[in-house]
Structures are given as structure tokens and as C-alpha cells.
Amino acid sequence: MSSEGEHVVSMTDVEVHFETDSGIFSRDSDVVQAVDGVTLDVEAEDVVALVGESGCGKTTLGKTAIGVQRPTSGSVTYKGQDIWEARDIGGNADIPFDEIRRALQIIHQDPGASLNPNKTVMHTLNVPLRMTNPGMDAFDRRERVHEMLSRVGMEPPEDYANRFPHQLSGGEKQRVALIRALLMNPDLILADEAVSALDVSLRIDMMDLMLELQDQFDTSYLFVSHNLSNASYITGKADGRIGVMYLGELVEVGPIDEVLENPQHPYTKVLMWAAPNLDPDADAQTRSPLRKIDIPDPRNPPTGCRFHTRCPEAREVCKQRPPVTEMDDEGDHRVMCYRALDEHEYWDSPEIEDEADDMPR
Amino acid sequence: MSEDTTTFGSADQKPAGVTRSRKELYRERLDRLLLTPLRVIWSDWRTRIGTLIILLYVFVGTVGVRLVDEPTMQDGPVNASPFEDAAYPLGTNGSGESLLAKLVEATPPMLQMILAGAVFSTVIATALGTISGYKGGLVDTVITTLTDIAMTIPGLPLIIIVLVLFEPKSPYLIGIILAINAWAGLARQIRSQVLELRDKSYVEASRIMNRPLHEIILDDILPNIMPFVLISFVNTARGVIFGSVALFYLGVLPVNFANWGIMLNRAYSSGGALYSWDGLYWIIEPMIAIVLLSFGLVLFSQGTERLFNPRIRARHASSIEETAPMEQ
Amino acid sequence: MQAQTTRKFGVADPIFEVRNASITFDMDRGESRVMDSVDIDIERGEILGVVGESGSGKSMFASALLDAVVDPGVLTGDITFYPESGEEINLLNKSEREIKQIRWEQIAMVFQGAMSSFNPTMTIGAHFRETLDVHGFDVEEGMEHAEDLLAQLYLEADQIFDSYPHELSGGMQQRSLLALSLVLEPEVLVMDEPTAALDLLMQRSIIELIREIGRERDLTIVFITHDLPLVANLADRLGVLYAFEFVEVGPAYEVLTDSKHPYTRALLNSTPNLDTPREEMKPIEGKSPDPVNVPAGCSYHPRCPLADETCIQMDPEFSTGNGDDDHQAKCHYIDRTRAEIPLNLTEVTHDE
């Protein structure tokens, strides 16, 4: 949809490392490299999906993109302005931090926890209105809330506005969370597993709604999900991009249809194998292509290419970190794998020896 | 979904749609803020009775004091039994004072002590607990250390020392001193609650919306810790009641204003109340006064958490219809 | 009951026969019927996928099979269990003690969220030992068997036995629970959303493991989930739950490619999938019914495009619609569903 235009959010070589205390008697605290050297841009009115298993860093990266998580190194900019610099130097920044904070919003995964259980829907939705339109009086705000509730299909709006969260279904709560985020007039919304807690038949509804309102409110989505089918639906309909993450690294990123048709990274292919398929005729390869069933401990990731311990195509040379290869001229489709290079010693390198606890190939 | 092509213009553009009168808006607000809580209180027998008892004492302490004459010595017969003379329905003490009058006279200062002590300790505890829990870091460490120190200082000896040193006269001041250590335990409790709440999704959403800190505390944090706060308020109140009675009885507190504890003391020492059936009334009456107030407070507190439970509030609000409430 | 009851859905050798089973709860706002006169047979050795969204009663079905409905729910009807050897057992007639013996030894259950099934203060090894002990099994032998099971599930027995539940990842916990459920060599495994909290890859891996283990040990597996694609390739037969009853039952292949009930077809059309064209996806209008207030007549009629007066008045019976006995659906217009509600997936892959 848009590969030109100003970047709304731009992350360059971002690293987020957490120190975890392992107890009173630990000698040194372990460091979890939740995000390690990721570069990613989000354009205006864009949809970018981040997929991967839990612990891959997609949520951390998402929160870094909206300025909630401070990176330990690298930069995050909003419309050119470094977010954390704006926070540190206060009034002198080109774009003040307050403005940035309001432009980047979130929709959480668990609808049950994303709304204040003690406040009515009307109260909850009044908050963003008061922040963005201080001139509006209570009466007008009320009308606006009713209008938005109608817009997302919650009729009659007066009834819904007076309800408490426990009186709403999961889908309804998520819609309220969506309205709340949109009423801030943001430039980017992080949808952190926003449809994962909903019933399967409701997910399409919610994703369609998000896309419909995207036009109206002129916002982008960063859609974090462990479910490839959901991610492919929403990015597909919006002609967006998908980023695949593994143990803190962005191993492949590109336009959704291209990545699905022509996956370059072995991990992407594994994810596609794992995505449940409705078509019983499809060639169901039942054996797992992975060499090991469990993800390595993020405190102690494998050296070089982090996927090499489980990769079905791993070779000795993979113990060194592969470069990022552009698959096309526009720089849209990037992969971090030796296999993307036609000529490399990878092709001559021997396969890695199987270990005792490997899954049978 | 509706097929509206409503444009979302600026704030001064009144959007088309169902318009409701301002009167309805205010009526809804009144219902939500005042009537619904009252209905909730009335709906449970414990809060109902507790509230009535507390209101009784408040009545006695404010209006009742004007209705009943101040007790004067040698006013009536000495050591008269209760329920015999209409002028002295609860009998008289050794100095001929009407016991009813004495009970009533002691009520306002008692209420003042309770109010001062409970409010002081609860407000301090809530403020410190919330700030240390929410802010974390150095602020948290400092406040927690203070709290720990306060918790380990033995309460009763401290109170006695302070009282003896400063000899306060005002019931408000005495109330505060009696509650001087009560805030520490609650502060700890509130801190741990706030720690948990701080990481909840909706609180994070508030931060991401750049809401000012005081709004987040008032809207997102406080309503969820109110049950603790109220129960602790009541417990401190009871602590003040029993503490004051005990210290008056022991003679530590100055006898410049009336208190049921003093009545107990005199009933015991000069009235021989524990030795004969005749004098028993003198000691039982203040006891009932003390226990009844305490009981009323306990009953009330048992139901207060319902006030802050949105499921129960929703049930009693007239402005919410019962259309398919999904009990998840 | 020695009489030959009519076999349902073409099941030749049932291990479970459920007849007219209902679960009711008495609530303030009315009687809540979370399972509504369910009739179904489960074939010995098969994998039966039970698919239902939240609010369809699927977890209640699982509880019913083990006679483990929480108080104050009341389970009525007939549920007969036919073990491999021995007499048939009418589950509702058994005492609590007898049921406890059947549970886990003959019918095991794996719940969603393995973490809450474990005692956080006991190691995994202690769980195994306790289970073996309480059921009077030889602990030595049992632990050896457990080691084999764990190895099959790609877990290191030594490491697992010494760990506490919270020390393991979600995937490891779920596999440990699976091993625990199999250590007494039950005949039936009832699984309620066993992979719900897990990642995509782990989900898929565990599905494969379940398939392997089920085949090896001749297990009958009842796999309950809201995620239709998950169970699509695993199950032999599928049962679709809507509004607390089965609305369609049949061989998995047929139910997926040639469903007969409007709800099943709508569900397939609204499930995001990598292969289905996105423009064809359609959400289902409306909401699932409240158990206190199920619509009269056909429970799906408020949301069904084919609904008419008949549907509002009369609750449909199971019929085959000119097909085999083993594939049936509860719809008055079972013959028209194919034409009126096209399946977007099959259109693409089975086009001329």
C-alpha cells in the first residue's frame, strides 16, 4: 500500500536487553536479549505484522515501537524525532514527547484486563476524548461516544455506554478497547495479540473493523501475533508487510503475499507448516521439520544464526551470524539467511551433526 | 456494522444522532454517584443494620446532646436503679448524675476521636502505600523503610509515652495519637495491591494515553483498593474506641472530658459494680455503649466491599438495563 | 442395560454411548441448560474432534464424560462406557469412589492450562509417584513406564522429575501432563483445549505427538477445541457443537469439505486460514445464545440465512439428507445448505 512516504515510526538497530535476577545467591544476573539488532519501519496507513513464537521478542519490539519500552541501544524515531531524546530533553525537541506519547497507542490481548472493571464504558471512552478535545463539553462527548459505539455495531449505544466491562462479551470489550485507542487520533496502534483471545469466528469481524476504521482515522497498525493465519489475513487485506521474529532477531520481512508464496527463511517455512490447515486434501507433512522441539533458553541463545540448532537446513557455517540479504531492488523483502545468497560457502559447508535428543527427520 | 458515512470532524461540529436532554444526563449522574451506592448499602442486612447503628450514635452525638441535659452532681438520688424513675431512665451513679446523660455526654468526644484517628491513619496509609507502590525505586525504598520502622515500634508504650509527655486536651488530637501506629500495616497492604495493579493492562493503557498521574491514581488504582481502605478504616476506628476506653480506665488519659472508660473505672472502683447485683447496671451500660458501636462498625465494614464491586453496582443501578449481562 | 440400543452415526464398536444427556444449573435468572439432550456415540480407537466456540457447552461435554460436572450442576441422562475388558459401566449410576477409580485409570483427562492442573508445591516426579500410588499401581514399574512416555514426548525424565511445574515452559508442562495422563494406561483420553495456551509450533508438534501416541496405544481420543483448523487433520470424525448440542456429526473429511449444517459452513467460511482467499471470508452475524435463553425451535435460526417459520417453531432432528448414516446434521433444510451457503475453501481447491 505504501512503501514511500514519511516513516511514522522508524527503528534502527534496536536492542532491548533485560537483566534478570536469578536469586539472592546468583553470581551475575542473566541477560535476556529480548530484541537484538532489529531495523524496521512503519509507514503511514500501513499494516505490519510481527509473528513468531513466545519469547521471540515481538511484544517487546512492539512496545519499543510505540515508545513504551526503552531500547538499551539503537534508535526509535517518530516522524524523524528520536522518541527518547524528546523525553530526556523535554521542551526543546522538535516534536515534544507528550505529542509523541499520544500518537502511539495500544490494544491489549486480554479483553478482560484491558478495561477498568470499576468504570462504565462511557467513562472509559471519555478519557481519550478529554485528552484530545479539551474544548468538548460532557454532552458532546456523550454524543461522540454513542456514535462510535454505533459505528462498531454495539446497538443501542445508550445501553452499552452505561455498562460495566463484566457486562460485555469478549468481542465487545475488544471493540471498546479499539475505540479507545482510535479516539486518541493516533498515528500507530500496537495490536498486541488483539484477536487471539476472541473466538475464531469473531476474529475476521474484528480485523475487518480495524481495517475499516484505519481509513477513517488515518492510522497504522503493528499487529503482533503468534498466529500466522490471523496475521496473514489482516496484512493481506491491507497489502501490508509481515516480519518474522526468532529469539529477538528479525529473520525475514517483506510484503505478505510475497513472503507466503516465496518464503526464504527456513523458520518462515516451519511456521507455515505449523499453521493449521483447513483443507484435508492438502499435503499434510506430519513430521516436524524442526530438529528440536523446544526453543532454546533466551538467556543463552545459540551462537551465530540463532535458529541453527533447530533448522532443518543448518550447516556448520551457520554458527556464524548470517548477513541480511535484500531479495529485491526496493529493499522490501529482506532475509537473514545464507541460503538467500546464491554463492556462498554455505552450500559447501557440511551439515550439522545430529544430537541425541534431536527429533527424527 | 452501520453503513454510516459520518465524518469525524472537529469538536465544535455537533454530530448527528440521538440527542438526549441535559436533564437526563444529570439524572443519570445522580443515580450513579448517590442513589446506587445507597441502594447497595440498603440491600444487604449487615450494612443496613450497621449503618443504622452508626447513624444512631451520630444522632446522639450531635442532636441528642442538646436534648439531654448535662449531668450535674447531686442532681438526683444517689445510686438509683435503672428503669424506675422516668427522669433517670438509666439510673444514676454515685454522685447522683444521670447515667443516660453521662453516656450521651461521652458520645461526641468519642466520635471525634474515632474520626480523627481513623481518617488520619487511613489517609496517610493510602497516600504512602499508593505512592511507594506506584512509583517504585528510591521513593519506594524510603517509604517502605519508614513503614517497617513504624511497624516495629511497640504501639501501646509509644502511645502512653506520647500522651504523658504532651498531655493533649483535644479529642481530635487524642484520636490521632491513639492511631499513631495503625497506618503502617495498611500502608504495606496497599503497597502490595498497588504493585499488582500497576502492571494491569488497563493501567498501562492509561499511561500510554499520557494521562496525568493523579488521574491514574484516582480512576484506576484507588477504586480497586477501596475495600481494603474501608475495612482498615473501620478497624482503626475500633482500635481507637478500645484504646481510648482502656487508657481512660487506666487513668493515663486526662479526665477533663467524659468517656465511657471513665464510667467503667468509677463503676468498678467506687460503685462496687462487680460485687453486687444492684451496682451491675452502672458497669453494663457503658459496656453496651462501647460494644454496640464497635459492632455497628464491623457490620458496616463487612458489606462495604460490595460498594466497590461493579457487578453489584450494576445490579442496583436503574440506568443499566438487564439485557444479556454476560457473567464471564 | 443389555438391550441393543440403536447405534448412532454409524458407529460399529462404541466405547462411549451418550443418550439424552443434559446438564442444568439453577441460576437466579432462570434454569441454565448448558448441555441439551445430547446423543452421541464414540467409536473405540478413534479420534473424535468436538468443535465449539466459547458458550457452546464444549467443556461441559468433557465434564460429562467423566461425570465431573461441578456443583451445583446436575447431569442427567445415560452415559455408558464400554471398557475393552469387563462389563459395561453406566457412569451416572456409579458411586463417587467407583468413579474416582475409573477416572485416570480408564478415562483420563487433559485440561487447558497445564499449570493449574499441577500442584505447585510438588515436583513433577512426585505427581507421578502419587498418582501411581493412589491407584494401587506398582510405583517402580510405573516410573519406568513414565520415563518411556516422557522420552516419546521429547522430554528428559531426569530433568523433568526433579522440576517444579513453574520451572518448565508451557510446552514442557503440557507434555508432562500428557505423560501423566497416560501413565496408568487408560483407554480413553479426553482433552479440553490442550494446546490453547501454546505457540503455533508447539501446538503443531503436540498434535503430531498425540496422533503418534494414540495410534501406538490404541487410544480413543476426544479432542475438544474451538479451533477448527487445529483438529481438522487430526480427527477421524468431527462433532460440531452449537448452543449446547451437537448440530453436525460425521467423518472429518466430509464435515470439512461437504458440511451439511449452515452453522458449520458459516464457521468454515469465517475461519482465517492461509489458503483461503481473503475476500471470501465472511464473519457470522449475531451472537451465541445465553444458556438461560436458548431460542425456541432450531437454536441457530436467529443467525441462519435459510431460516423460516418452520425453523422458528420446530426443533429439527438429525437427518442424513440423502447421504450415509455416518454423516448427519440437525437442519430442516439439509438438502439446500450446499447450494445456499457456498464454502469458499472448497471452491478454490476443488474447482474445475
Q: How far apart are CA A229 and CA A219, in angstroms?
A: 23
- CA-based nearest distance C53→chain B, Å: 14
Instruction: Residue C54: list chain A partners with CB under 8 A.
Output: 170, 199
Of C231, C192, C217, nearest to C64 by C-alpha is: C192
Q: How far is CA B243 from CA B229, B238, B260, in A?
A: 20, 8, 12
Touching B (3+ Cβ pairs <8 A), the chains are A, C
Is A47 within the bounds of a domain?
yes
Is A360 within the bounds of a domain?
no
pLDDT band at A255 (very low <50, low <70, confident <90, very high): very high
Q: Are strands C107-110 and A334-335 parallel, antiparallel or unpaired?
A: unpaired
**What angle do the packed helices C200-216 and C139-152 form, to 10 degrees?**
130
Chain C residue with CA closest to B322: the answer is C29
pLDDT band at C31 (very low <50, low <70, confident <90, very high): confident
Of C92, C14, C48, nearest to C210 by C-alpha is: C48
Tell me the mean pLDDT in the region B152-167: 86
Q: How far is CA A292 from CA A275, A307, A309, A361, in A?
A: 18, 10, 7, 10
Q: State the average pLDDT for chain A.
A: 87
Residue C66 above 90 pLDDT? no
Annotate chain B with three-state secondary structure: CCCCCCCCCCCCCCCCCCCCCHHHHHHHHHHHHHHHHHHHHHHCHHHHHHHHHHHHHHHHHHHHHHHCCCCCCCCCCCCCCCCCECCECCCECCCCCEHHHHHHHHHHHHHHHHHHHHHHHHHHHHHHHHHHHHHCHHHHHHHHHHHHHHHHCCHHHHHHHHHHHHCCCCHHHHHHHHCCCHHHHHHHHHHHHHHHHHCCHHHHHHHHCCCCHHHHHHHHHHHHHHHHHHHHHHHHHHHHHHHHHHHHHHCCCCCCCCCHHHHHHHHHHCCCCCCCCCCHHHHHHHHHHHHHHHHHHHHHHHHHHHHCCHHHHHHHCCCCCCCCCCCC
Contacts of C279 (CB under 8 A, 6+ apart): none
**Whether A54 and A125 share a structural domain:** no
Q: Which of A201-205, C261-265, C324-328 has the highest mean pLDDT?
A: C261-265
Is A312 within the bounds of a domain?
yes
Touching C (3+ Cβ pairs <8 A), the chains are A, B
A236's grid cell: 493481506
- CA-based nearest distance B213→chain A, Å: 14
**Whether A142 and A283 share a structural domain:** no
**Whether A99 and A170 share a structural domain:** yes
Instruction: Residue C293: list chain B partners with CB under 8 A.
Output: 324
Q: Are B311 and A164 within 8 A, CB to CB?
A: yes
**Whether A70 and A145 share a structural domain:** no
Cβ burial, residue C121 (10 Å; 0-12/13-18/19+): exposed
Q: Are A273 and C256 within 8 A, CB to CB?
A: no
Residue B301 above 90 pLDDT? no
The confidence score (pLDDT) of residue C177 equals: 92
CA dihedral for A96, A98, A102, A107, sign (positive or negative): positive
Cβ burial, residue B327 (10 Å; 0-12/13-18/19+): exposed
Residue B12 above 50 pLDDT? no
The confidence score (pLDDT) of residue C223 equals: 94
The confidence score (pLDDT) of residue B304 equals: 76
Q: How far apart are CA C260 and CA C245, in angstroms?
A: 16
Q: Which of A169-183, B125-139, C109-123 has the lowest mean pLDDT?
A: C109-123
Biggest CA-to-CA distance, chain C: 65
Q: Which of A83-97, B133-147, C1-15 has the lowest mean pLDDT?
A: C1-15
- What is the DSSP code (8-state) at residue C249? E
What domain range is A50 assigned to?
A: 7-118+164-348
Q: How far apart are CA C209 and CA C207, in angstroms?
A: 5
A interface test, pick of B24, B40, B326 with most A CB neighbours within 10 Å = B326
**Whether A265 and A292 share a structural domain:** yes
**Residue at C258: amino acid letter:** D
Is A261 within the bounds of a domain?
yes
pLDDT band at C1 (very low <50, low <70, confident <90, very high): very low
Residue B162 above 50 pLDDT? yes
Residue C46 above 80 pLDDT? yes
Tell me the per-residue pLDDT of A309-346, one tens digit each, with 9 for 90 and over: 999 888 888 888 777 777 776 668 889 888 888 777 77
**Residue at B45: amino acid letter:** W
Q: Which of A201, A278, A287 sits opposite C53 (nearest CB)?
A: A201
The confidence score (pLDDT) of residue B313 equals: 79
Is A353 within the bounds of a domain?
no
Return the ∠ at Cα B166 (arms to B164 and B167), rounded to 5°. Answer: 65
Residue B262 above 50 pLDDT? yes
Q: Are B202 and A152 within 8 A, CB to CB?
A: no
Is A104 within the bounds of a domain?
yes
Residue B7 above 60 pLDDT? no
Q: How many CB pairs under 8 A join B and C?
A: 3
Count of H-run helices and E-run strands, chain C: 14, 12
Residue B11 above 80 pLDDT? no
**What angle do the packed helices A266-274 and C200-216 form, to 10 degrees?**
60
Tell me the per-residue pLDDT of C288-306, one tens digit each, with 9 for 90 and over: 787 778 888 888 888 888 8
In chain A, the number of structural domains is: 2
The confidence score (pLDDT) of residue A27 equals: 53
195-214 of A, contacting C, C-beta below 8 A: 199-205, 207-208
Residue A102 above 90 pLDDT? yes
Q: How far apart are CA B116 and CA B121, in angstroms?
A: 8
The confidence score (pLDDT) of residue A145 equals: 95
**Whether A233 and A252 share a structural domain:** yes
- What is the DSSP code (8-state) at residue A135? T
Q: Which of A301-310, B87-96, B187-196, C332-341 has the lowest mean pLDDT?
A: B87-96
Of A79 and A93, the one with more pLDDT: A79
Is A218 within the bounds of a domain?
yes
The confidence score (pLDDT) of residue A62 equals: 94
Of B263, B251, B265, B277, nearest to B93 by C-alpha is: B263
What 3-state DSSP class applies to A349?
Answer: coil
- Chain centroid to Cα A83, Å, comes to 19
The confidence score (pLDDT) of residue B15 equals: 42
Residue B25 above 60 pLDDT? yes
The confidence score (pLDDT) of residue B39 equals: 82
**Whether A113 and A125 share a structural domain:** no
Q: Which of A160-169, A350-359, B48-57, C18-27 has the lowest mean pLDDT?
A: A350-359
Q: Are C281 and A200 within 8 A, CB to CB?
A: no
Residue C181 above 80 pLDDT? yes
The confidence score (pLDDT) of residue A285 equals: 65
pLDDT band at B325 (very low <50, low <70, confident <90, very high): very low
Q: Is C290 on the interface with B (CB under 8 A)?
A: yes
Tell me the mean pLDDT in the region B304-318: 77
CATH of the domain at A103: 3.40.50.300
> What is the Rg, in whole angstroms, of the alpha carbon atoms belonging to chain C?
21
Question: What DSSP string runs through A147-208?
Answer: HHHHHTT-SSHHHHHT--GGGS-HHHHHHHHHHHHHTT--SEEEEESTTTTS-HHHHHHHHH
- CA-based nearest distance C268→chain B, Å: 21
**Phi and psi at residue C109, to the nearest 5°:** -135, 135
Q: Where are the alpha helices (DSSP H) in chain C?
A: 58-65, 96-105, 114-117, 124-134, 139-152, 157-162, 170-182, 200-216, 228-232, 252-257, 262-269, 309-313, 337-340, 344-349
Q: How far is CA B326 from CA A286, B316, C78, C210, in A?
A: 40, 16, 31, 35
**Whether A75 and A214 share a structural domain:** yes
Is A180 within the bounds of a domain?
yes
The confidence score (pLDDT) of residue A238 equals: 92
Contacts of C5 (CB under 8 A, 6+ apart): C17, C19
**Whether A142 and A64 share a structural domain:** no
Question: What DSSP string runs through C60-76?
Answer: HHHHHHTT-PPTT-EEE
Tell me the mean pLDDT in the region A101-121: 92
Instruction: Residue A278: list chain C partners with CB under 8 A.
Output: 228-229, 232, 256, 268, 271, 273, 275-276, 345
The confidence score (pLDDT) of residue A283 equals: 59
Q: Which of B20, B319, B328 sits opposite A166 (nearest CB)?
A: B328
Locate cell 503440557: which residue?
A: C174
Tell me the mean pLDDT in the region C155-173: 89
Residue C224: half-sphere exposure toward Cβ, Cα within 13 Å: 23
Q: How far apart are CA A90 and CA A101, in angstroms?
A: 13
Q: How far apart are CA C49 and CA A151, in angstroms?
A: 37
Instruction: Residue B313: list chain A partners with CB under 8 A.
Output: 164
- CA-based nearest distance C196→chain A, Å: 10
The confidence score (pLDDT) of residue A2 equals: 39
**Whether A226 and A131 share a structural domain:** no
Instruction: Tell me if ipTM is over 0.90.
Output: no
B136's grid cell: 517504585
- CA-based nearest distance A155→chain C, Å: 12
Q: Which of A54, A232, A278 sits opposite C345 (nearest CB)?
A: A278
- What is the DSSP code (8-state) at residue C294? P
- Chain centroid to Cα C289, Å, comes to 20
What 3-state DSSP class applies to C250?
Answer: strand
63-82 of A, contacting B, C-beta below 8 A: 66, 68
Domain range annotation of chain C: 243-340
Residue A228 above 50 pLDDT? yes
**Whether A70 and A184 share a structural domain:** yes
Q: How far apart are CA B37 and CA B31, in angstroms?
A: 9
Q: Residues in chain C, how many?
A: 352
Q: Is B324 on the interface with C (CB under 8 A)?
A: yes
Q: State the average pLDDT for chain C.
A: 85
The confidence score (pLDDT) of residue B5 equals: 32
- Cβ contact A280:C253 at 8 Å: yes
Tell me the mean pLDDT in the region B108-137: 90
Return the ∠ at Cα B293 (arms to B287 and B297), rounded to 5°. Answer: 145
- Cβ contact A271:A230 at 8 Å: no
Tell me the mean pLDDT in the region B294-298: 90
A150's grid cell: 454505533
The confidence score (pLDDT) of residue B126 equals: 92
Q: How far apart are CA B259 and CA B265, in angstroms?
A: 10
Q: How far apart are CA B6 and CA B17, in angstroms?
A: 10
The confidence score (pLDDT) of residue A329 equals: 65
Chain C residue with CA closest to B1: the answer is C285
Q: How far apart are CA C78 and CA C14, in angstroms?
A: 14
- Cβ contact A176:A168 at 8 Å: yes
**Whether A148 and A182 share a structural domain:** no
Cβ burial, residue B243 (10 Å; 0-12/13-18/19+): buried
Return the ∠ at Cα C119 (arms to C117 and C125), rounded to 5°. Answer: 100
